[in-house]
Amino acid sequence: MKEEPSFAPADPVGLAGVPVDPVGDPVGDPATAAIAVQGLRKRLEGEVPVTLIDGVDLRIERGEFVCIMGPSGSGKSSLLYLLGLLDVPTEGRIWLAGQRTDTLDEDAITDLRLARLGFVFQFHFLLAEFSALDNVLLPIRKLGRLRDEAAVERGLALLDRFELKAHAHKHPSQLSGGQRQRVAIARALANDPPVILADEPTGNLDSASSANVRDLLRELTREMGKTVVAVTHESRFASVADRRIGIVDGRIDLDWRPA
Ligand SMILES: Nc1ncnc2c1ncn2[C@@H]1O[C@H](COP(=O)(O)OP(=O)(O)OP(=O)(O)O)[C@@H](O)[C@H]1O
């Protein structure tokens, strides 16, 4: 029988009411999930083999804002990279926006990643020699589904949405940390993907910019119906999530709580 998600007890770090990972059938019908993961394992073979992900089953609904949390070195980024199809699992299956991914060849994976996923990292990874607009246009041009005029129009509209239109022709070095991260969010949305993956998106920002980026990511789910999965160490960030998932030793840990 499927149990209701449990809720974290009142706690001093502002996570009260944020459900921890649901229990019961973790995958359900993978075709209807934003992300579904079954039996995921990642091992690195070598003189000393390392297990990064050790049997993860997970379902993330469309429109959810989920935070992945856990101790340092527990496998959070490794999991996010697998979900983002930036790394290949040793075992297990991943469905992304209903599409099973383990049967796809490399070109199809690249297209799927460009069309259905947006990435925001701790360090913005904007190209220094490109303007903000050209950085946002990169994924659109790579996917190649829009004529250039339409691409530029979309890029400017995205920058406008994040109050960056006046900065469209500036280079990253001419922008503040918060502005750069907003350009990175605009770039993540360039191809209008259903799923945004973020790895410590506020880890390198002052508290005002951090709150701004957190709220913008939250709005993507509420206003645009996006699914956002973010790795974070910050309880304040996680306090606005629909759900947080604890990862310990490469496994989901339903009892994990931030210190
Ligand atoms: N290429 C690699 N070779 C060997 N060990 C690795 C490799 N990549 C990751 N690891 C190890 O795997 C474990 C999980 O790493 P991962 O970066 O996913 O953890 P994390 O939870 O994101 O950590 P943090 O919160 O510190 O960023 C760590 O112990 C890390 O040292």
For the CA of 231, the nearest atom of ligand 1:
22
Tell whether 239 is covered by a domain. Answer: yes
Find the domain containing 185 and state its range. Answer: 61-87+102-252
Residue nearest to atom 5 of ligand 1 (CA): 50
Tell whether 194 is covered by a domain. Answer: yes
Which are the contacts of 193, defined by CB distance < 8 A and separation ≥ 6? 115, 116, 117, 118, 226
Half-sphere exposure of 134 (CA within 13 A, CB side): 9
Q: State in Å: Cα 149 to ligand 1 middle.
A: 42
The pTM of the full predicted model, rounded to 2 decimals, is: 0.89
User: In the structure encoding, which two tokens stand for residue 210, read together?
Assistant: 């951090």
Q: Domain of 227: which CATH number?
A: 3.40.50.300
Tell whether 5 is covered by a domain. Answer: no
DSSP string, 185-206: HHHHTTT--SEEEEESTTTTS-
* Number of structural domains the chain divides into: 1
List the chain pLDDT tens, one digit each, 259 residues. 444 333 333 343 445 555 555 544 667 788 889 999 999 999 999 999 999 999 999 999 999 999 999 999 999 999 999 999 999 999 999 999 989 999 999 999 999 999 999 999 888 789 999 999 999 999 999 999 999 999 999 999 999 999 999 999 999 999 999 999 999 999 999 999 999 999 999 988 899 999 999 999 999 999 999 999 999 999 999 999 999 999 999 999 988 887 7
Tell whether 38 is covered by a domain. Answer: no
Hey, which of 47, 77, 237 would you mutate to test ligand 1's pocket, going by the most ligand atoms within 8 Å of its Cβ? 77
Tell whether 170 is covered by a domain. Answer: yes
**Alpha-carbon gap, residue 209 to 72, rounded angstroms:** 23
